[in-house]
Amino acid sequence: MKRAFASDSIPLNVNAQRPKNVKMTTGDFIEDSLYNPSYGYFSKEVEIYHPAKPLDYSDLKDQDEFMTSWLKSYEKYDNFGNNNNNNNNNKDNKNDSKKDGGPGLQLWHTPSELFQPYYGEALARYLLVNYMLNQYPYKDLIIYEAGAGNGTLMLNIMDYIKRNQPDVYERTRYKIIEISSKLATSQRAQLDSKISQHSDKVEIINKSIFEWEEVVPEPCFFIALEVFDNFAHDVVRYDIDSGRPYQGYVAISEHGDFQEFYNPELDEWTSAFLGLREQGKFSVFRDKEKSFLGKQFKNQGIFFNRNSQRRHPIYESKMINHLKNILNPLRSNLSAPEYIPTRLLKFFHILKYKFPEHQLLASDFSSLPEVIQGYNAPTVQTFLNNRVVNVSTYMVLQGYFDIIFPTDFKFTSDLYRQVIGKVSKTATHTAFLEQWADIEATTTRNGDNPMLDFYKNAAFLYS
Ligand SMILES: C[S@@+](CC[C@H](N)C(=O)[O-])C[C@H]1O[C@@H](n2cnc3c(N)ncnc32)[C@H](O)[C@@H]1O
């Protein structure tokens, strides 16, 4: 792939070999690592935990018993690798998440699987209430889901609608847009299984949401759960005197070695992102000019995050930055890095132009453990000898590592308003489920509710 200063208009590398002797933006490098059809992380063996049957919470004494039953249900994954330890990973606990098998193979668990069917039913309630309020009886219920994993959420939502609103069910259509052929096959298998009777209402489209071209003019709901976290980001550092942004690029040598470098030439999405942010509620430069101390505390939500780099790089004092540059001349008078969600911005453009009447329902991680250095930085991890291995850079052998970014929900809601022109709301995972889930059915005998208590680092965005 010859992509010096490539812009995203160049399609994903379809070569079976990892690129050599080229330069590309960090965003393109991460996208290729995750999504390359031959060696990308999502083309390899990705497996999502699926419990054999839903847990009956009234049979469980407490949260500990829930954990024991859950770990027991992992036994069926023993043939996934060759080690029998039971590990788990909800990207919150930094625990192991798979059964060996060499680097790159991973078993995820997600709330839609772990708490099925109750989690899907909570979302179905939300969809039905909003559909009845805004579209019924004039429009059909049309649901799109990008990145549907095993297809469990789709089954749970369709079952719930069929059971509770058979008339609405008759006019429901559910379309999955899935980048991974392996997971699209799992989704088809679930759909064709005896338990599912929804085949005539569901369509599975095996492609990336970034390749979507058709315009969907009808009102529809658009679901994306744990999908934003794998959208590639670009990286920017700022000149410590002038504040000018420099974009990160990766040079790959003829031997496949990686070298990061920074250039003031910004690609169109990086430039668009930085421009939009300055015009929005969470401008960085506009607010820097105001009272420094006052702003630091007032804007804690956006300028500080819970990850390794808590403060936006341009808020770091000049003196400290200069000192750091003296100690490390390779920093070239630039600040610490900031990772910016350029593919999320692109996704919002797809929503705006291809799904103009959509209502979004998304959930993801608001913070992550073990992130690499930088503001809004990702966790980069793989699995070796049945253990999670976290590394300190995204420049790692393409396809062998998951690269997971946190989402700043308040900021994302503002970006959504700027791009799409609609209002969206945010809620913590707990708050959203308290409103829409069947709390009684998911409470153990001593009153614990694992569905509300787990995933404290997740949140919802809905419009
Ligand atoms: C962590 S899994 C979550 C699966 C499911 N939503 C759940 O919560 O169980 C991420 C899903 O998004 C899919 N995905 C990632 N990037 C995508 C893209 N650009 N277009 C479509 N699907 C994508 C993955 O293949 C996978 O199905």
pLDDT category at 368 given cuts 50, 70, 90 is very high
Q: What is the pLDDT of residue 262?
A: 96
DSSP alpha helices (H): ranges in 209-264?
A: none
* Segments in 253-291 forming alpha helices (H): 268-279, 285-288
Q: Answer yes or no: is the C-beta of 89 below 6 A from any ligand 1 atom.
A: no
249 lines ligand 1 (CB under 6 A): no
pLDDT at 75: 62
How far is the C-alpha of 151 from the C-alpha of 427, rounded, in Å? 24
Contact 96, 386 (CB under 8 A): yes
Neighbour tally for 428: CB within 10 Å: 17
Work out the percent of the chain whose per-residue pLDDT is above 70: 80
Q: Does ligand 1 lie within 6 Å of residue 227's CB atom?
A: yes
Residue 310: predicted pLDDT:
67
More confident residue, 250 or 298: 250
| Mutational pocket test of ligand 1: of 31, 35, 41, 42, the residue with most ligand atoms within 8 Å of the beta carbon | 42
Range 1-463 classified under CATH 3.40.50.11290:
no
pLDDT of residue 46: 63
Mean pLDDT of all residues in the chain? 84
* Structure confidence at residue 342 as a pLDDT band (50, 70, 90): very high
Quick one: which of 333, 129, 329 has its CA closest to 244?
333
pLDDT score, position 74: 61
How far apart are the CA of 389 and the centre of ligand 1, in A?
22
pLDDT higher than threshold 60 for residue 98: no
455 Cβ closer than 6 Å to some ligand 1 atom: no
40 pocket-lining for ligand 1 (C-beta < 6 Å): no
Span 221-229, average pLDDT: 97
pLDDT at 435: 97
pLDDT at 295: 44
Shortest-distance atom of ligand 1 to CA 145: 6
- Please write the tens of the pLDDT for every residue from 371-383: 999 999 999 998 7
Question: What pLDDT sits at residue 227?
Answer: 96
Mean pLDDT of 88-117: 57
Q: pLDDT per residue over 318-333, tens digit each?
A: 777 777 777 776 667 8
Ligand 1: centre distance to CA 208 (Å)? 9
- 211, 249, 204: which is closest to 35 by C-alpha? 211
In this prediction, residue 166 has a pLDDT band, given cuts at 50, 70 and 90, of: very high
Cα 128 versus chain centre, distance:
25
**Residue 308 pLDDT:** 47
Q: Whose CA is nearest to atom 25 of ligand 1?
A: 180
Show the beta-strand stretches assigned E in 15-169.
22-25, 46-48, 106-108, 141-146
Q: Is the pLDDT of residue 403 over 60?
A: yes
Q: How far is the CA of 435 from the centre of ligand 1 (A)?
A: 25
Partners of 22 in the beta sheet?
A: 252
Q: How far is the CA of 110 from the centre of ligand 1 (A)?
A: 11
Determine the residue of 107, 179, 190, 363 to mutate for testing ligand 1's pocket, defined as the one with the most ligand atoms within 8 A of the Cβ atom.
Answer: 179
pLDDT of residue 349: 98
Q: Which residue has the higher pLDDT, 118 or 4?
A: 118
CA of 225 to the centre of ligand 1 (A): 7
Q: How far is the centre of ligand 1, averaged over its atoms, from the C-alpha of 324 (Å)?
A: 39
- Cα–Cα–Cα angle for 349, 266, 310, rounded to 5 degrees: 80
Higher pLDDT, 462 or 180: 462
123 lines ligand 1 (CB under 6 A): no
Question: Binning pLDDT at 50, 70 and 90, where does residue 85 land?
Answer: very low
Dihedrals φ, ψ of 424, to 5°? Answer: -130, 160
- For residue 180 and ligand 1, the question of a CB distance below 6 A is answered with yes
Average pLDDT over residues 282-295: 65
Residue type at 139? Answer: K
> What local confidence, expressed as pLDDT, does residue 97 receive?
33
Q: Determine contact, residues 274/313, Cβ cutoff 8 Å.
A: no
| Distance of alpha carbon 342 from alpha carbon 236, whole angstroms | 11
Using a CB cutoff of 8 Å and minimum separation of 24, what contacts does 440-445 make?
441/57, 441/58, 441/118, 442/57, 442/115, 442/118, 443/57, 443/58, 444/57, 444/58, 444/60, 444/61, 444/62, 444/63, 444/65, 444/66, 445/58, 445/60, 445/61, 445/62
Instruction: Output the CA 36–ligand 1 centroid distance in Å.
Output: 14
CA of residue 149 to ligand 1 center, whole Å: 6
Nearest Cα neighbor of 127 from 99, 81, 97, 165 is: 165
- What pLDDT is stored for residue 107 in this prediction? 62
Distance 455 CA to ligand 1 centre (A): 18
- Per-residue pLDDT for 313 more than 50? yes
pLDDT (tens digit, 9 = 90+) per residue, 10-58?
445 566 889 999 999 999 999 999 989 888 988 765 666 677 677 788 8
* 22 torsion bin: left (phi>0), alpha (psi -120 to 50), beta (else): beta
Considering 71-75, 78-82, 338-342, the range whose residues carry the highest mean pLDDT is: 338-342
- Confidence category of residue 77, pLDDT binned at 50, 70, 90: low
